[in-house]
Structure 1
Amino acid sequence: MPTDRIIRFADFELDVERYQLRRAGEEVRLERLPMDLLILLASRHGELISRADIVERLWRSNPWRDTENGINTAIRKIRIALADDPAQPRHLVTVKGKGYRLDGASFANPAGATEPSDTHNAVRVLVLPFANLTGDGKEESLCSALADEISATLGALGADHLRMIARTTAARYRDTAKSIGEIARELKLDYVLEGSFSREAHQVRILARLIRCADEVQIWSRAHEPVSQGSLDLLKEAAAALAQELASKLSEQQRSLLARRLPVDPAAHDAYVRGRYFWYRRVHFDAGFCAQHGIDGEDFARSRAYFETALEHDPNYALGYAGLSNYYGASVVHGLFAPDDGWPIARALAQSALELDPDLPEAHHALAAVRYFFDWDWPRAEAGFKEALRRNPSYPEAHRLYARLLLAAGRHAEGQAAMARAEKIDPHAFQGSRAFGMILAGQHAQVESEYLSPGHMEHSPLVYQVLATAFEVKKLFAQAVDATAEALDRCNLLARSAAVRMHWETGGYDAVLHWYLDDLLARRRRQYTSPLLIAEAYARLAQPNEMFQWLDAALAERSSRLCELRMNPWFQPYRASGRMRHIEQHIGDGPMR
């Protein structure tokens, strides 16, 4: 699906991000499936789309859905909405025996154009990682995390006016030789906040300045010392400076939000931002790949220690509870311990954060994650993600997980639109996230072509983890081995990488898969190992009886990644079976579908 937001034809506007069709400014109601089909047709720039392509994109070749009647009904409802005469259509044209096309569509914001005017004139702000001038590498995490927290705080305070660019994109510009003007042009920025962190003897000093990108003029700067108090003052003053520059002042409500977000004890804030740094560094991996290969959760453990330290300093610090909730939830999803050992704790911590601060976006996101991965209550999870994004539209984690929920629910057009929104917030780091989204949507060939084009040899570990899946699905086994080994090398699992290559060279890919299975069964005898991983291994070996036995066990323990069972590529060949349909009926089917 395109990232183009507004698609126009005749007097109609199709707003992909808002999932809305308008005529002369008035909304035209369309049900989900006709809307998905209309977005698909509009996105093809007038190209013909076959019925088979429509089935693949909207139903993913689901063998038990009545797709013939479904397409006919959707086409009829689109024509009613467009007031199109089937005998002499002006917009939606049927090419008999071939398919359909939408004539006259044009895009309001093609690639390279500026944002459309209906985005509330929000300005785009990047907070660069603070330069570490201490000479102590241990302070790098604080320098990055301090910038992250400033970005999150400003995003929540200025939800109607600011669009904060995410931390992972900002990290690409650490120690860059590029000027503010060059960075601004690349990311289409309005403001950049940059700073430095230094220490002389026992005295710590923070410098920060806010740059207006249009003329590269410094409109605000501050120096703070010591860090324990200065980091909090910095958040308050940066928010006030941006608000003043945007011809507004912080409202009393915003001042109250800022006061609640920051802890009583400044040391709690320093511990929290360090914990968030390590959590982010580990959570952006493919959970299934990591669990299969036993990639450790050291960064998760370090984040937990810092979040707990934050709460020791300030037991009423809502962000500390949200951070701990994220730790427990992510650790379960990544296979480090059982769902019953993590999700109930994650729920209680998220609820504690909400009781302390009902307006905290991170708390709404944390509770929504519990409802998505553990409760399989998609309507309430969706409501939670929307609450988080209403309070901070620049919160990339909420966009990413909400997009996954939409894809899991079969709402592919909305899911792709949510992915597109996340990419605007986090354009550099989103490469890996978008590749992961493509795998969930079954777009394996697109992942392969997009990320292996000439010059694309430097990617995040996540991209290589995703490529390993894409190659195996397409039976490109040599490439799957290469991608797997590259991903493991980048996670510093050199011995396992060598073992994968050895089994491939001596016995082919079948030997690799059997080695994966034997390793999982042996690991399960000595530590927690998700039954879903073993079910996946049997599925990849085409052993359905054993696969279903372990899937039943995964269902009984509510294995977290089961919520995305319908998108799991290893189980696609078995989806037509009654036994698989029975399992799917227990997962996530709610009113939102």
Structure 2
Amino acid sequence: MKTSSSVPPTLRFGVFELDPRAGELRKKGMKIRLQGQPVEILAMLLERPGETITREELQKKLWPADTFVDFEQGLNNAMKRLRASLDDNAESPHFIETLPRHGYRFVGSVNGSERTRAAEATTTHGTGALIRLPALGALAVLAVVTALVGLNVRGWRDRLFLRSPKPQIQALAVLPLTNLSGDPDQEYFADGMTESLITELGKISSPRVISRQSVMQYKSSKKSLQEIAGELKVDAVLEGTVVRSGDRMRVTIHLSQALPERQLWAQEYNRSIGDALTLQGEIARAITDEIQVKLTPEERNRLASSRSANPEAQDDYLHGLYFAGPAFKSEAEWQKAIAHFKKAIEKDPTFAPAYTELAMAYFWLGNPEQGGPSAKGTMPQAKAAVAKALQLDPSLARAHLALGLILLGSEWNWSGVVILSMEFCSQAWAERTRPPRRPTKRLNWTHSAVCIEIG
């Protein structure tokens, strides 16, 4: 982060300190997970305490004219994140004052210095009114406020000085991302991104992530967030939008708590189309940071393992996910999915996820309930695809799941191979991949309950 040479190496205010050169914010010595535009905004405010930083200045420095982004929404989201990290409130600010339609001003003390006269005079109308009161009246009001805070009447002290604890999110639903491109033909892209994000979040042990087949019923739903969360039995809901324009995309994500209903986090991402899959890992990591999930080293590695793919291969891959969707679709849809996964592999022969999904598609196509090809005709192709996926990426969790399912259902002789496949199912479970949510009627539940999740 570029700073003026006259700026101190550390800017202290309240219990916080900012290292503007490293772009690190700390609270009582502990680093706060905040980076990017919110930190840069804070640095600009702290470098000029008491002065107004206009919206135009912020836009010129942080959102150049060639940036593919909605400035107003981006600035509002950045300020929300910054205020949340500082335990600040726009209505009664301790640090950052909003000047409607104009800009922002830092009104706290920096490195022990007092507020500037301009800041003190205009922090709030209430403060100005108190200054104009007779001295005795001011002392009386101060005494009442002190008593209320000291006794913590109706939680005043908590609301003034303490930040609400991070919510405990045990279960999360990723609702279908909304296509805002204005082109119905881009629905596959939004749905494929939804499926990819669900898979990415499924790489961690907590929170539990609801499967796509359970959430797709809420595509374009008019139900309230609380209704959806209640029906799915989740604590929080992730929703968002996707705009695709040429070789660029803009993804906006919102994480909301169900009860009480409130937004926990929001972010906007502007990326090249070729970065669509790596973006899912970035979003998943941001969410785990926001709800303070403690990741194991293995989980961190899995979230960091996503790689960029050939843009055309990735596009076919997302098309395939769109047609595959939940299990037990029609034969025609599975055939379309298979065709797209094959095209993705042709364009990028090292694309392990495409081999994995091809294996899964062949597996479900061989389901006798489909009325299509028999398992004898699809299982060899499924085995070949999953073998290639694991050769390319032995750590790919969903590939281990696919292998376990293929061995489990080889020729649909469920009872004969359950024990043989358990090591692969256990591996998939250890990788926290979401297994299918509906087994066939002939599945031997006694031996496979640890592999198949229902709900």
TM-score w.r.t. structure 1 length? 0.43
Instruction: Tell me whether 1:277 sits opposite 2:315 in the alignment.
Output: no
3-state SS in 2 of match to 1:211: strand
Q: Percent identity?
A: 29
CA distance in 2, matches of 1:315, 1:197: 28
3-state SS in 2 of match to 1:260: coil
Contact 2:435 2:451 in 1 (8 A): no
Partner of 1:140: 187
> Aligned match of 1:260 in 284, 295, 305?
305
Contact 2:174 2:194 in 1 (8 A): yes
The runs of 5 or more residues in structure 1 that have no matched partner are 1-120, 286-295, 424-593
Distance 1:325 1:392, change over 3 A: same
CA distance in 2, matches of 1:262, 1:202: 18
3-state SS in 1 of match to 2:219: coil
Partner of 1:405: 443
Task: Show the 5 A alignment for 1:212-251.
Answer: 212-226=257-271, 228-229=273-274, 231-248=276-293, 250=295
Contact 1:263 1:317 in 2 (8 A): no
Cα drift, residue 339 of structure 1: 4.5
CA distance in 1, matches of 2:407, 2:365: 16
CA distance in 2, matches of 1:200, 1:348: 37
3-state SS in 2 of match to 1:194: strand
CA distance in 2, matches of 1:185, 1:373: 34
CA distance in 2, matches of 1:235, 1:149: 7
Partner of 1:305: 339
Contact 1:268 1:309 in 2 (8 A): yes
CA distance in 2, matches of 1:312, 1:175: 34
CA distance in 2, matches of 1:133, 1:257: 30
Contact 2:172 2:208 in 1 (8 A): yes
Contact 1:325 1:345 in 2 (8 A): yes
Give CA deviations for 1:353-403 in whole Å, capped at 9, x if unaligned.
Answer: 12222332321222223222326422122332232223225x141x53498
3-state SS in 2 of match to 1:400: coil
Give CA deviations for 1:19-74 in whole Å, capped at 9, x if unaligned.
Answer: xxxxxxxxxxxxxxxxxxxxxxxxxxxxxxxxxxxxxxxxxxxxxxxxxxxxxxxx
Partner of 1:129: 176
Cα drift, residue 226 of structure 1: 4.4
Contact 2:422 2:451 in 1 (8 A): no
CA distance in 2, matches of 1:338, 1:178: 40
CA distance in 1, matches of 2:306, 2:315: 13
Partner of 2:196: 149
Contact 2:200 2:281 in 1 (8 A): no
Cα drift, residue 340 of structure 1: 4.7
Contact 1:262 1:269 in 2 (8 A): no
Give CA deviations for 1:316-356 in whole Å, capped at 9, x if unaligned.
Answer: 22211111112223333345335454322211211121222
Partner of 1:345: 381
Could you tell me which amino acid in structure 1 is paired with residue 328 of structure 2?
H
3-state SS in 1 of match to 2:172: strand
Cα drift, residue 195 of structure 1: 0.9
Contact 1:332 1:339 in 2 (8 A): yes
TM-score w.r.t. structure 2 length? 0.55
3-state SS in 1 of match to 2:444: helix
> Aligned match of 2:419 in 368, 372, 379?
379
CA distance in 2, matches of 1:254, 1:301: 33
Contact 1:400 1:418 in 2 (8 A): no
CA distance in 1, matches of 2:406, 2:343: 23
CA distance in 2, matches of 1:139, 1:362: 26
Cα drift, residue 248 of structure 1: 4.2
The runs of 5 or more residues in structure 2 that have no matched partner are 1-167
Give the greater-gyration-radius structure (CA).
2
Cα drift, residue 204 of structure 1: 3.8
Instruction: Tell me whether 1:185 sits opposite 2:230 in the alignment.
Output: yes
Cα drift, residue 232 of structure 1: 3.1
CA RMSD of aligned residues (A): 3.0
Contact 2:328 2:364 in 1 (8 A): no
Could you tell me which amino acid in structure 2 is paired with residue 369 of structure 1?
L
> Aligned match of 2:216 in 171, 177, 187?
171
Partner of 1:321: 355
Task: Show the 5 A alignment for 1:202-217.
Answer: 204-217=249-262
> Aligned match of 1:356 in 392, 396, 406?
392
Contact 2:275 2:308 in 1 (8 A): no
Contact 1:368 1:385 in 2 (8 A): yes
Cα drift, residue 140 of structure 1: 1.8
Contact 2:251 2:270 in 1 (8 A): yes
Cα drift, residue 155 of structure 1: 1.0
CA distance in 1, matches of 2:247, 2:349: 28
3-state SS in 1 of match to 2:218: coil
Partner of 2:404: 368
CA distance in 1, matches of 2:261, 2:233: 13
3-state SS in 1 of match to 2:323: helix
Distance 1:383 1:244, change over 3 A: same
Cα drift, residue 265 of structure 1: 3.0
Contact 1:196 1:208 in 2 (8 A): yes
CA distance in 1, matches of 2:444, 2:266: 42
Contact 1:325 1:347 in 2 (8 A): yes
Distance 1:348 1:259, change over 3 A: farther
CA distance in 1, matches of 2:198, 2:234: 14
3-state SS in 1 of match to 2:241: strand
CA distance in 1, matches of 2:311, 2:195: 16
Task: Show the 5 A alignment for 1:13-162.
Answer: 123-156=170-203, 158-159=204-205, 161-162=206-207
Cα drift, residue 244 of structure 1: 1.2
CA distance in 1, matches of 2:391, 2:440: 23
Counting matched residue pairs gives 282
Give CA deviations for 1:107-149 in whole Å, capped at 9, x if unaligned.
Answer: xxxxxxxxxxxxxx87101111011222322222221221111
Cα drift, residue 241 of structure 1: 1.8
Partner of 1:422: 454
Distance 1:360 1:233, change over 3 A: closer
Partner of 1:391: 431
3-state SS in 2 of match to 1:422: coil
Contact 1:207 1:223 in 2 (8 A): yes
Contact 2:274 2:314 in 1 (8 A): no
